[in-house]
């Protein structure tokens, strides 16, 4: 009886609760998610890549367990979970990051989606200094836009047209750039931001995201 009690107490001390399901993580594991939750994310080896509407790389489709996890992260991000996902994304895109700046897509509202900035920061940390977070003043929203959840592809593109401003290249602002977002849907936001940066003389390489909305899903 005493042995089992102390063994249970030791397990509580040596294991941390999973940040997703609340169950116990593996002893001494640095992961904030338990093995079952990690397996449920079903992250494909090497991630997903494509070149439409711009070059992009993502961890996995925006569906099932990953979709639920990201929806929970938006209102109240857990930096340990974001860092884990960013580290997995880094494995998929490490070869293109050396010397690059990571540019999170900014929200119009100050209280907007915090994930792009957190993912960009975590990616820079995962790169071990081979990539860096771009200066905050490099890209900004130049006008208000509508929420895009219920907008289709053409309306999203119209909604985001000329929605960004960018600092001119030069004076140290001339490194290759990768945009960073949490979810790639139609690409309207990323394309609008890329257009503003390219018009200012920057070399935009593409977009890095945690998830890609499946092509068959409603847009």
For residue 142, is pLDDT > 90? no
The answer, yes or no, to whether residue 156 has pLDDT greater than 90, is no
- Beta-strand ranges (E) seen in 92-154 are 101-104, 132-133, 139-141
Global pTM?
Answer: 0.87
Strands 48-50 and 56-61: antiparallel
The whole-angstrom separation of Cα 115 and Cα 168 is: 26
Q: How confident is the model at residue 14 (pLDDT cuts 50, 70, 90)?
A: low
Percentage of the chain lying above the pLDDT 90 cut: 69
Q: What is the mean pLDDT of residues 11-17?
A: 66
Measured in degrees and rounded to the nearest 5, phi and psi for residue 132 equal: -140, 155
Quick check: 29 pLDDT over 50? yes
Residue 33 vs residue 1, higher pLDDT: 33
Angle at 133 (CA atoms; ends 122, 86), nearest 5 degrees: 20
Please say if the pLDDT value at position 6 is more than 60: no
Check whether 216 has a pLDDT greater than 70.
Answer: no
Average pLDDT over residues 15-37: 89
For tokens 């592809």, the residue is: 153
**Higher pLDDT, residue 83 or 173:** 83
3 state SS of 175: coil
Domain extent listing, the chain = 52-212
* Statement: 52-212 belongs to CATH 1.10.150: no
Tell me what the mean pLDDT of segment 48-59 comes to.
97
Give percent helix, percent strand, percent coil of the chain, each to the nearest 5: 40, 20, 45
By the 8 A CB rule, do 164 and 193 touch? yes
pLDDT of residue 39: 95
Instruction: Measure the CA angle with vertex 189, ends 186 and 191; round to 5°.
Output: 85
Task: Return the half-sphere exposure (C-beta side, CA atoms, 13 A cut-off) of residue 165.
Answer: 9
pLDDT in tens, 178-215: 999 999 999 999 999 999 999 999 999 999 999 999 97
* Omega within 30 of 0 (cis) for the link into 188: no
Q: Which residue is listed with tokens 């293109």?
A: 96
């Amino acid at each position: 009886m005493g042995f089992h009690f102390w063994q249970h107490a030791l397990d509580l001390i040596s294991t941390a609760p999973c940040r997703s399901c609340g169950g116990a993580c593996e002893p001494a594991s640095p992961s904030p998610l338990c093995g079952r939750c990690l397996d449920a994310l079903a992250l494909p080896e090497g991630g997903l890549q494509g070149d439409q509407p711009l070059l992009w790389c993502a961890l996995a489709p925006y569906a099932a367990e990953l979709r639920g996890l990201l929806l929970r992260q938006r209102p109240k991000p857990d930096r340990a979970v974001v860092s884990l996902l960013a580290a997995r994304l880094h494995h998929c895109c490490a070869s293109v990051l050396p010397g690059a700046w990571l540019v999170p897509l900014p929200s119009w509202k100050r209280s907007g989606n915090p994930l792009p900035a957190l993912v960009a920061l975590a990616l820079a940390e995962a790169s071990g200094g081979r990539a860096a977070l771009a200066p905050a003043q490099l890209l900004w929203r130049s006008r208000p836009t509508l929420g895009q959840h219920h907008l289709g592809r053409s309306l999203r593109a119209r909604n985001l047209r000329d929605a960004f401003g960018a600092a001119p290249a030069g004076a140290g602002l001339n490194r290759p750039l990768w945009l960073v977002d949490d979810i790639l849907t139609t690409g309207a936001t990323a394309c609008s931001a890329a257009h503003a940066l390219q018009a200012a003389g920057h070399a935009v390489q593409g977009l890095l995201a945690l998830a890609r909305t499946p092509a068959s899903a409603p847009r």
